[in-house]
Amino acid sequence: MALIVQKYGGSSLESAERIRAVAERIVATKKAGNDVVVVCSAMGDTTDELLDLAAQVNPTPPAREMDMLLTAGERISNSLVAMAVASYGVDVQSFTGSQAGVITTERHGNARIIDVTPGRVQEAVDAGKIAIVAGFQGVNRDTRDITTLGRGGSDTTAVALAAAMNADECEIYSDVDGVYTADPRIVSDARKLDKLCFEEMLELAASGSKILVLRSVEYARAFNVPMRVRSSYSNDTGTLVAGALEDIPMEEAVLSGVATDDTEAKITVLGIPDTPGEAAKLFRALADAEINIDMVLQNISTLEEKKTDITFTLPIPDRPRCMDLLSKLKESEGWGDVIYNDDVGKVSLVGAGMKSHPGVTADFTEALRDAGVNIEMITTSEIRITAVVRDADLAEATRAIHDRFDLGGDEPAVVYAGTGR
Ligand code: ASP
Ligand code: MG
């Protein structure tokens, strides 16, 4: 008997009707002879609505209380799905994250899973029941407080449970049929991919593809859990994410897709002395403040000789905090000005095929040139090229690259639901 973990996202659970449809699928999976563990996200846009509500009562709510609030979203969907499953006469039991043994760090709002002890879930499964687990939440052993795993964290819950329970596959259900060559909301002829290796999916997720949360893919790769991304609105078999980059035969390695990210800002620190240790000071300070930077560029300073300018990208929400920190450092270190720009976006081309295809960077940059898009920063890695462009140009840049590398399909991509929020 196979053990299947299924995770249903908010758009798959946005109404009572959808919850019943999901329950039907869960029951069918069980009746087909599988053991089934289900992880649910909150219904529809619940998490965003709870965040809005919190902001109305307190602009800076205590992090612990925020987690108490947000985890309620998953408990609602979780119990409703269990009720719907029970209505089919099937044995079912729901669990909160902490009941399911999801142990995390204590960092509210962005906790990491450090252990999963799914004893109760396993007992339920062994007793022939379908187990339903609330996603996105866990508990810290020291504080005994409830935590959340960061936005989109239910994917991580599902993969972590699948790893701990040795599941055969972790199915992630959302509102599209799988992983596409580009965001179908931007590129109308985006094509669904049948298979990707973990590294390709990691690069796509890290470059802004919202289909899977990055941490879940990191987890799946570390524990070798095959993930299948599919839709709760269709019977398409979706996209399988499994296997290592080095195991892809050269002739099968292709360019897989274009990812876009409009959530990053760019900061430039001008006039840093061009001597050993200065960049280290800058990046250590950011690391200590837990600011995750992405692309970095160091240039000869436009200000004076023997100075350099350092530019990097970071998530927009971290930008104000980062500017405060750098303004202080600038004073103490005697650096030049610190400037920022939120109106940037990143476009990335990802694929194992890049390793063996020469000239990809040339084609990439020509595609942007032909679309009249200026490149502000560019980096390449083994299987990815990323350019920072004006965010007004992002959609056009994405379409231009997608076209240039012939990634499109014949049928228009379908987006079944979701508000895109
Ligand atoms: N409901 C949470 C969120 O919207 C977790 C999830 O959807 O995975 O971020
Ligand atoms: Mg969500």
Query: Which residue among 175, 194, 228 closes a domain?
Result: 175
Cα atoms in the Cβ-side hemisphere of radius 13 Å centred on 98: 15
| 8 assigned to some structural domain | yes
Same domain (yes/no): 278, 373 = yes
Query: Which residue among 147, 175, 203 closes a domain?
Result: 175
The annotation status of 302 as a binding-site residue, yes or no, is no
| 94 assigned to some structural domain | yes
Same domain (yes/no): 51, 157 = yes
Same domain (yes/no): 396, 254 = yes
The annotation status of 74 as a binding-site residue, yes or no, is yes
Same domain (yes/no): 250, 170 = no
C-alpha 342 – ligand 2 centre gap (Å): 24
Number of the ligand closest to the Cα of 155:
1
Same domain (yes/no): 369, 285 = yes
| 145 assigned to some structural domain | yes
For residue 169, what are the domain limits?
3-175
Question: And the tokens for 238?
Answer: 């979706």
- The type of residue at 386 is T
Q: Yes or no: say if 23 and 88 are a contact pair by the CB < 8 Å rule.
A: yes
Phi-psi region of 232 (alpha: psi -120 to 50; beta: other; left: phi over 0): alpha
Same domain (yes/no): 260, 166 = no
Number of domains in the chain: 2
What's the pLDDT at 418?
Answer: 62
Closest atom of ligand 1 relative to the 155 alpha carbon: 8
Residues of 8-31 as b/e, b for ≥16 C-beta within 10 angstroms? bbbbbbbeeebbbbbbebbbebbe
- Pick the closest to residue 266 from 309, 305, 306, 302 (CA basis): 309
CATH, residue 390: 3.30.2130.10
First-to-last CA distance in the chain? 38
| 185 assigned to some structural domain | no
Same domain (yes/no): 157, 250 = no
Residues in the ligand 1 pocket, defined by CB under 6 Å: 9-10, 41-42, 47, 73, 135-136, 151-155
Nearest residue (CA) to ligand 1, atom 6: 152
Residue 174, CA distances (Å) to 67, 181, 207, 414 in order: 24, 16, 19, 12
C-alpha 72 – ligand 1 centre gap (Å): 11
C-alpha 136 – ligand 1 centre gap (Å): 6
| Helix spans in 254-359 (H) | 278-288, 319-333
Closest atom of ligand 1 relative to the 157 alpha carbon: 8
Single pTM value for the model: 0.91
Pocket test for ligand 1, best of 14, 146, 151, 212 (most atoms within 8 A of CB): 151
**Residues β-bridged to residue 344:** 390
Same domain (yes/no): 160, 32 = yes
| 143 assigned to some structural domain | yes
What's the pLDDT at 206?
Answer: 93
| 300 assigned to some structural domain | yes
Same domain (yes/no): 254, 363 = yes
| 310 assigned to some structural domain | yes
Q: What is the mean pLDDT of each run of 10 residues along the chain (421 residues)?
A: 96 96 97 98 98 97 98 98 98 98 97 97 98 98 97 97 98 93 93 96 94 96 97 94 94 93 96 93 94 91 84 96 96 94 97 89 97 96 96 97 94 68 53
Question: And the tokens for 390?
Answer: 């004006």
State the burial class of residue 133 (Cβ atoms within 10 Å of its Cβ: 0-12, 13-18, 19+): buried
The annotation status of 47 as a binding-site residue, yes or no, is yes
Number of the ligand closest to the Cα of 7:
1
Decide: helix, strand or coil at residue 77. Answer: helix
What's the pLDDT at 420?
Answer: 52
Residues 6+ apart with CB under 8 A from 12: 18, 22, 173, 174, 175, 231, 232, 233, 417
What's the pLDDT at 33?
Answer: 97
Same domain (yes/no): 138, 15 = yes
Same domain (yes/no): 151, 255 = no
The annotation status of 353 as a binding-site residue, yes or no, is no
Same domain (yes/no): 35, 155 = yes
CATH, residue 21: 3.40.1160.10
The annotation status of 44 as a binding-site residue, yes or no, is no
> In this structure, how many other beta carbons lie within 10 angstroms of the beta carbon of residue 213?
21
Query: Which residue among 114, 148, 175 closes a domain?
Result: 175
Q: Yes or no: say if 154 and 74 are a contact pair by the CB < 8 Å rule.
A: yes
Classify residue 371 by its DSSP letter: T
C-alpha 151 – ligand 2 centre gap (Å): 7
| 71 assigned to some structural domain | yes
